[in-house]
A and B are shown apart, each in its own frame.
Chain A
C-alpha cells in the first residue's frame, strides 16, 4: 500500500511536517447591501476582523486519509491496534465490545481475538488501571478515548488530522520524565507507544521567530530580529541547537523526522491511519446510520413539501 506519509511535500526525504504559514489574506466580502457606504463599512470591518484569523493559524497538521472512514478492513486493523496498544492505559468506557459487530466482526472473533481481559462481550471496553495510580505514574490520568476524535475537533482542524499527526510526532527527549516528547503536544505525558515498530528516528524541529535583542550599539532600545533555531534530537534524545539570524522570511515552525528504518516508519504511518479510522468510528458509531436514515428523511420531506405546496396553491386560489 502506498505510504500515507505527508503527500503535500513529497520532494523532501523522510517524513516532513509543517509548512510555512500562509500570509494573512485580506477578506473582502461582496457588498450585499444597497447602500454603498454600508458595504464599504462591512468590507473594512470584515477585512480587519478576519485578517488576523488567517495569520494566527497553528502549525499545519497532516491529513488523515479520509477514505478509510468506512473501510471495514482499515477499521478492523485499527480495532486490533487499539486493543493491543491503547486499551492498556486508555479506556473506551462508552464502547460495548459487541458493538464491534458494526465494523464487520462477529462475536466469536471479538471474544477470541480482541478480548484479552476475560471480559464478557456485552461489557464496556474498560481498563483495569486505576486513574489515581495513573496520575501518580504519568502525572495525568490517560483520558478515556470513547469520543476523543470529536473532543479534538476545533474550528480550524478536524480531530482525525490532529490525532493522526500527534501519534506520528513523538521523538526522543532526554529532558522529559518518560524520555519522549511530542512536536504536536509539547511535554505530553504519554510515551511513544509504537516506538518498537517505528524504529529510531532523528527529529529536527525548526522555529523561525521574532526575537528581541539589545541593540548592537548598546544605546537604542531592543531590536527585533528574525532568528532561526534548529533543534536536532538524535535517536537517543540528545539535543543539539543551532541558532542563526536570518535576513528574511516569516515566522514558522516545521518538524522533520529522519527514520533509520524508513520502511518500518512508513508502515507505522499506515497503521496509525487505521487506528485513527477506528477512533473516528468509535467517536460516533452511529454516524453511518445517521447518514443513511438522513437521506430517506430528506426524500420524505421533499415529497411532504411538494404536497403542502400544492395544498397551499389550491387554497389560496380563492384569495383575490
Chain B
C-alpha cells in the first residue's frame, strides 16, 4: 500500500507518512485549534490542572513503588519513604502538596466558569464532564487520604463511610460493602489503594480527555463571552482566534512558571502548611481504639462537611420553610400546568419528609444536602437564564451575588475545620442557605437587572 503523502519533511515526514493520526490530532487540538486571543488570568487554571494531574500521576507511581497497602505496615512504609528512600521525602511532599493544589486550581477553574458563563449553550457538555471530573477528584482524594494510615486517615474515613449508614434500607449493607469488613481495616486499605491508584485515575484521565474533546468541538469561551466563530476571516478561521500552539503554549508556560514557584515553595519550605495540608494527627498511626478529640476532613472537603453539620434537627423547619417558599415561587412563575402539578407534588413530598409525621432523620438530610451541594453544579447550565454569558455585561450587582456565594463557600470551609459550637452552627446554617439559594434562585435573579450590550468582537489590547 502506498504511503500517505506527508506535508512534512525529514524524520517527521517519514513518521507522518506512516502514522498520520498523530499530526492530525496535533493540528486539530494544538496548532490549528483557534482559541480567543483575549484570555486573561483566570484561563491559566485549566492547563494548570493538567500539570497537577501529571505531577500526581508521576509522583504517585513512584510512591507506589515503596508504599505497602497493609494495615500493619502502611504507616511506617510512608515514614520509610520519607527517610530511607532516596528523594522519597521530595516525592511524598510533591504528592501531598499536589493534592491540595489540585483542589485550589480546580476551584479557581470552576470559579472562572461561573464568572464568564462558560457553561452556557453550547458548552453544557464541557461543564457536565467537568462536574464529573470534580466528583472523581473528590473520590480520588478521599481514597488516597486513607493510605498513610494515620489517625486522621482512619477517623476521617470512618466519619465519611458512616454517612452511608444513614441511608434507609440499604445503608448498613452499603457501608459494609464499601469497607469490605465491618470495621475499617486491612480489606478497606487494600481496596482504597486499588481505587486510588487504578480505578479513579483511569476514570479521571478518560474524563479529562472527554473534557478537552468537548471543549475543542465547540471552542473556548472567553472573558467577553463572545462567540468568536461568528466572525470568520477569509481563511475560514475566527478573526479573534489564534492558534493554541504556539501562542497559548508559551502563554501557559508562563503561568506554569509562576505556579511552580508557588508549588515548590510549599513543597520545600512548608509542606505541612501549618497543619492544613499535612495534619499533625496523621503522624500518629491509626488506632481504632482511640478517637481523636476533633476530627476534621481535609480543607478542600470542609465546605461540604460544614453543610452536613449545619443540618441539625433544629434546622429542618427552616429548610421546610425554604422548600415551601421555593415551591410557591416556582408554582406561580411557571406557566405549564403539568410542571405546576409536579412542583406542588415534589414540594408536598419534601415537606412531609422534612417536618411531617413521617419525617426523616436530620443526619440523613445532612447527607442529602451534602450530596446535593456537590451535584448541584451539574444543573447550573439550566439554572442560569441570563441573556449574556460574561459577568462583564451583566448588572453590576450580579458580581455581588457571586461574591456573596464565594464568601459563604469560604466561611463554610473555615467553619468545617473548627470544632462546632452554637454560634458557628448558626453561621454555617446561614451560609448553607446562601449556598443553595445562589443556585436555586438563579432562574429568577440571573435575568433581573439591566444588561449591557455585548460587543460584536472580543476586546483585546495588544501586549
A: residues with CB less than 8 A from B are 33-35, 37-38, 41-42, 45-46, 48-49, 52-53, 56, 93-96, 99, 143, 146-147, 150-155, 159, 283-286, 290-291, 293-295, 297-298, 301-302, 304-305, 308-309, 311-313, 315-317, 319-320
Q: Given A308-B250, A319-B463, are A38 and B407 also a contact pair (CB < 8 Å)?
A: yes
In the complex, which residue of chain A has the Cβ closest to the Cβ of B461?
A: A320
Query: Please, how many angstroms separate the alpha-carbon atoms of A10 and B112 in the complex?
Result: 55
Measured between beta carbons, the chain A residues less than 8 angstroms from B267 are 294
- State which of B268, B403, B427, B431 has its C-beta within 8 Å of the C-beta of A33: B403
Interface centre among A37, A95, A159, A312 (most CB of B within 10 A): A312
Check A147 against B253 for contact (C-beta < 8 Å). no
Check B257 against A308 for contact (C-beta < 8 Å). yes
Give the contacts of B247-285 with A (CB-CB under 8 A): 247, 250-251, 253-254, 256-258, 260-261, 264-265, 267-269, 271-272, 274-276, 280-281, 283-284
Task: Tell me the smallest distance from the CB of B150 to a CB of chain A, in Å.
Answer: 9
Task: Tell me the smallest distance from the CB of B89 to a CB of chain A, in Å.
Answer: 5
Chain A CB within 8 A of B183 CB: no
Chain A CB within 8 A of B79 CB: yes
Check A94 against B462 for contact (C-beta < 8 Å). no
Query: Please, how many angstroms separate the alpha-carbon atoms of A284 and B403 in the complex?
Result: 41
The number of chain B residues touching the other chain, given as a range, is 35 or more
Measured between beta carbons, the chain A residues less than 8 angstroms from B419 are 56
Measured between beta carbons, the chain A residues less than 8 angstroms from B80 are 94
Measured between beta carbons, the chain B residues less than 8 angstroms from A304 are 257, 260
The dominant DSSP class at the B interface is helix
Query: Please, how many angstroms separate the alpha-carbon atoms of A96 and B82 in the complex?
Result: 13
Check B415 against A49 for contact (C-beta < 8 Å). yes
B: residues with CB less than 8 A from A are 37, 76, 79-80, 82-84, 89-90, 93, 242, 246-247, 250-251, 253-254, 256-258, 260-261, 264-265, 267-269, 271-272, 274-276, 280-281, 283-284, 396-397, 399-400, 403-404, 407, 411, 414-415, 418-419, 421, 423-424, 427, 430-431, 460, 462-463
- State which of B250, B261, B403, B463 has its C-beta within 8 Å of the C-beta of A301: B261
Task: Tell me the smallest distance from the CB of B47 to a CB of chain A, in Å.
Answer: 13
Query: Please, how many angstroms separate the alpha-carbon atoms of A151 and B265 in the complex?
Result: 23
Check B264 against A48 for contact (C-beta < 8 Å). no
Query: Please, how many angstroms separate the alpha-carbon atoms of A151 and B396 in the complex?
Result: 48
Query: Please, how many angstroms separate the alpha-carbon atoms of A313 and B276 in the complex?
Result: 37
Check A319 against B37 for contact (C-beta < 8 Å). yes
- State which of B268, B397, B403 has its C-beta within 8 Å of the C-beta of A291: B268
Some 5 contacts from A to B, beta carbons below 8 A apart, are A49-B415, A99-B83, A154-B281, A290-B268, A309-B254
- State which of A146, A298, A319 has its C-beta within 8 Å of the C-beta of B265: A298
- State which of A41, A49, A94, A159 has its C-beta within 8 Å of the C-beta of B79: A94
Query: Please, how many angstroms separate the alpha-carbon atoms of A313 and B84 in the complex?
Result: 44
Check A49 against B463 for contact (C-beta < 8 Å). no
Measured between beta carbons, the chain A residues less than 8 angstroms from B421 are 52
Check A285 against B83 for contact (C-beta < 8 Å). yes
Task: Tell me the smallest distance from the CB of B321 to a CB of chain A, in Å.
Answer: 21
Measured between beta carbons, the chain A residues less than 8 angstroms from B283 are 147, 150-151, 153, 283
- State which of B89, B265, B414 has its C-beta within 8 Å of the C-beta of A286: B89
Measured between beta carbons, the chain A residues less than 8 angstroms from B427 are 45, 48-49
Check A42 against B407 for contact (C-beta < 8 Å). yes
Given contacts A150-B280, A155-B274, A298-B264, 18 further A-B contacts (CB under 8 A): A35-B400, A35-B403, A38-B403, A45-B431, A48-B427, A49-B424, A94-B80, A151-B280, A284-B89, A290-B89, A294-B267, A294-B268, A298-B268, A301-B260, A304-B257, A308-B253, A315-B250, A315-B251
Check A284 against B411 for contact (C-beta < 8 Å). no
